[in-house]
């Protein structure tokens, strides 16, 4: 095996807790009676509905588009009828505009046929990515067509596909790599063609040897002299899958503070986003389904589920047999970067990777105390920031003075809070500081 690479500074080794779902094949969840689609599924402007109440719609039809600003269209995941255009509870506990669809469960799913893409130019392929509503499904939902069109002042020479999946519990990308390796590799080729480059590395942590083997074979099977794609095994270290850490690990390049990966010639996409690009470009199938890991001791039956975007968490819980006694906390996303939710009446979005139902013994409820100046958070921070100072300033009502400690370079990985012996809620302090401090120009 090749040498295992990683980033130099900081990082932590939380218990993996992946065994519950790593061996479970992706299961297709039956469509519930109703879906609720939030109109702001991506970073940028939310969609404006292109349908009206009581409209009959078919699976794959556009139901929302962005009329100005950054964004992608939204498509119906089902055939059915528009029941309501109103508001829903957003995963971040806000009320947001949404479309509710009453599902026609007897409708036949559309057949998408394979289209030629090799002879199309980059502009046409980019338009197909946009038309399919593809966003970065492993992260914050940045529109993929924008990321694949970096400024000409930043020439790109390398594509990195992120298959690290370093967050504990989550195995959705792992399963995608095992079950759809050829699609991911072809998606990578589409992206390379759009970027006009040939070099791609697929970074996978060494705790997924089966994925390393399967992806390597898929690359060999689809060998193409126009493209140079290779798997790069990575050390198991959190947050290996964050953009800047992945770039440093694989290319040795360091993205400057506040800069984008393209500033060092790199574009990073998640492996699941490459699959969505494949579906969107090669089959003209819009992004309206999502593989979600459902795990934790608090759910009756853990699973990796393919669900329609807009499926309510409550419907997923019912499908998996309900909750276990002793449930303590529900998290949307991973335990390091996800957020706790207080209702199951929340829909899955294009960026939901996991739902964790954690029992009492999986949650640390120790109250936090004063900083003891041990410096562990400084050692753990992969960005070389000073989270302890940010926390102390926030508690002293001086959040607006935290910019010098690097608050805007923090990507909220949670490594600092994970190691803190005083259990200080450092990420919450940092989020508060970001709201009050002045961003450097
Ligand atoms: S949450 Fe921010 S400050 Fe804390 S370790 Fe991660 S990047 Fe550093
Ligand atoms: S790890 Fe916690 S206690 Fe130690 S210096 Fe950082 S904030 Fe203070």
Domain residues of the chain, as ranges? 114-282, 376-436
Taking the C-alpha atoms of residue 281 and residue 118, their distance in angstroms, rounded to an integer, is 10
Angle between helices 209-221 and 172-179 (to 10 degrees): 40
Is any ligand 1 atom within 6 A of the Cβ of residue 295? no
How many Å lie between the centroid of ligand 1 and the Cα of residue 429? 11
- Average pLDDT over every residue of 165-194: 98
Give the dihedral of Cα atoms 109, 138, 15, 394; nearest 10 deg: -130
Ligand of minimum distance to the alpha carbon of 384: 1
- Residues in contact with ligand 2 by the CB-under-6-Å rule are 371-377, 388, 391, 419-422, 424
What does the alpha-carbon distance between residue 392 and residue 232 come to, in Å, rounded to a whole number? 40
pTM for the structure as a whole? 0.96
Half-sphere exposure of 371 (CA within 13 A, CB side): 22
- Predicted confidence (pLDDT) at residue 366 exceeds the cutoff of 80: yes
Interval 209-234: pLDDT, tens = 999 999 999 999 998 899 999 999 99
Q: What is the pLDDT of residue 92?
A: 66
Mean pLDDT of the chain: 95
* Segment 243-298, tens digit of pLDDT: 999 999 999 999 998 899 999 999 999 999 999 999 999 999 999 999 999 999 99
Peptide bond preceding 239 in cis form (omega within 30 of 0)? yes
Question: What is the number of the ligand closest to the CA of 12?
Answer: 1
Check pLDDT > 80 for residue 94: no
Largest Cα–Cα distance of the chain, in whole Å?
A: 62
**The CATH classification of domain 114-282, taken from the options 3.40.50.11540, 3.40.50.12280, 3.40.190.10, 3.50.50.60:** 3.40.50.11540
Nearest protein CA to atom 4 of ligand 2, as residue: 374
The answer to whether the beta carbons of residues 328 and 362 sit under 8 Å apart is yes
Question: Using CA positions, which residue lies closest to atom 5 of ligand 1?
Answer: 381
Ligand 2: which residue has its CA nearest to atom 1? 420
> CA torsion 118→278→202→19, rounded to 10°?
-160
Nearest ligand 1 atom to the CA of 406 is 3
- Give the strand pairing for 34-38 and 95-103: antiparallel
pLDDT, tens only, 113-154: 999 999 999 999 999 999 999 999 987 789 999 999 998 888
Using CA of residue 191, residue 193, residue 196, residue 201, what is the dihedral sign?
positive
Quote the CA–CA distance of 148 and 126 in Å, as a whole number.
8
Nearest ligand to residue 421 Cα:
2
Rounded to an integer, the average pLDDT of 298-326 is 97
Average pLDDT over residues 178-200: 98
What is the distance in A from the centroid of ligand 1 to the CA of 416? 6
CB 253 within 8 A of CB 158: no
How far apart CA 283 and CA 229 sit, in angstroms, is 22
- Which numbered atom of ligand 1 lies nearest the CA of 377? 5
> What residue owns the CA closest to ligand 1's atom 2?
410
Rounded to whole angstroms, the Cα distance separating 238 from 250 reads 15
d(CA 131, CA 236): 36
> Ligand 1: which residue has its CA nearest to atom 3?
387
What CA–CA distances, in Å, run from 384 to 8, 245, 422, 426, 432? Answer: 11, 12, 20, 15, 20
């Amino acid at each position: 095996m090749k040498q295992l690479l990683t980033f130099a500074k900081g990082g932590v080794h939380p218990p993996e807790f992946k065994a519950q779902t790593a061996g479970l094949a992706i299961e297709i969840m039956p469509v519930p009676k109703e879906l609720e689609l939030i109109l702001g599924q991506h970073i940028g402007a939310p969609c404006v509905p292109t349908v009206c109440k009581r409209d009959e719609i078919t699976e794959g039809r556009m139901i929302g588009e962005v009329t100005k600003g950054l964004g992608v269209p939204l498509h119906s995941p089902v055939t059915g009828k528009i029941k309501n255009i109103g508001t829903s509870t957003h995963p971040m506990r806000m009320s947001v505009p949404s479309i509710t669809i009453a599902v026609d469960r007897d409708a036949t799913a559309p057949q998408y046929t394979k289209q030629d893409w090799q002879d199309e130019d980059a502009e046409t392929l980019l338009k197909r990515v946009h038309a399919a509503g593809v966003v970065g499904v492993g992260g914050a939902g940045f529109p993929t067509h924008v990321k694949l069109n970096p400024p000409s002042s930043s020439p790109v020479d390398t594509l990195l596909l992120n298959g690290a999946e370093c967050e504990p519990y989550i195995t959705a990308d792992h399963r995608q790599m095992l079950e759809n390796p050829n699609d991911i590799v072809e998606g990578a080729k589409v992206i390379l063609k759009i970027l006009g480059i040939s070099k791609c590395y697929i970074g996978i942590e060494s705790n997924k040897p089966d994925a390393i083997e399967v992806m390597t074979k898929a690359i060999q099977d689809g060998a193409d002299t126009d493209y140079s794609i290779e798997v790069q095994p990575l050390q198991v270290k959190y947050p290996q899958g964050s953009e800047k850490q992945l770039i440093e690990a694989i290319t040795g390049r360091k993205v400057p503070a506040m800069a984008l990966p393209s500033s060092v010639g790199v574009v990073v996409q998640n492996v699941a986003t490459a699959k969505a690009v494949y579906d969107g470009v090669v089959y003209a199938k819009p992004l309206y389904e999502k593989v979600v890991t459902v795990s934790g001791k608090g759910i009756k039956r853990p699973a990796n589920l393919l669900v329609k975007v807009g499926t309510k968490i409550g419907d997923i819980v019912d499908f998996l047999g309900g909750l276990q006694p002793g449930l303590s906390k529900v998290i949307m996303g991973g335990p390091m970067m996800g957020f706790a939710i207080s209702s199951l009446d929340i829909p899955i979005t294009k960026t939901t990777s996991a739902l964790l139902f954690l029992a009492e013994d999986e949650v640390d409820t120790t109250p936090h105390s004063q900083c003891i100046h041990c410096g562990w958070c400084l050692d753990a921070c992969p960005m070389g920031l000073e989270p302890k100072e940010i926390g102390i300033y926030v508690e002293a009502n001086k959040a607006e003075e935290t910019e010098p400690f690097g608050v805007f370079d923090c990507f909220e990985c949670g490594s600092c809070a994970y190691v803190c012996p005083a259990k200080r809620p450092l990420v919450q302090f940092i989020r508060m500081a970001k709201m009050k401090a002045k961003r450097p120009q």
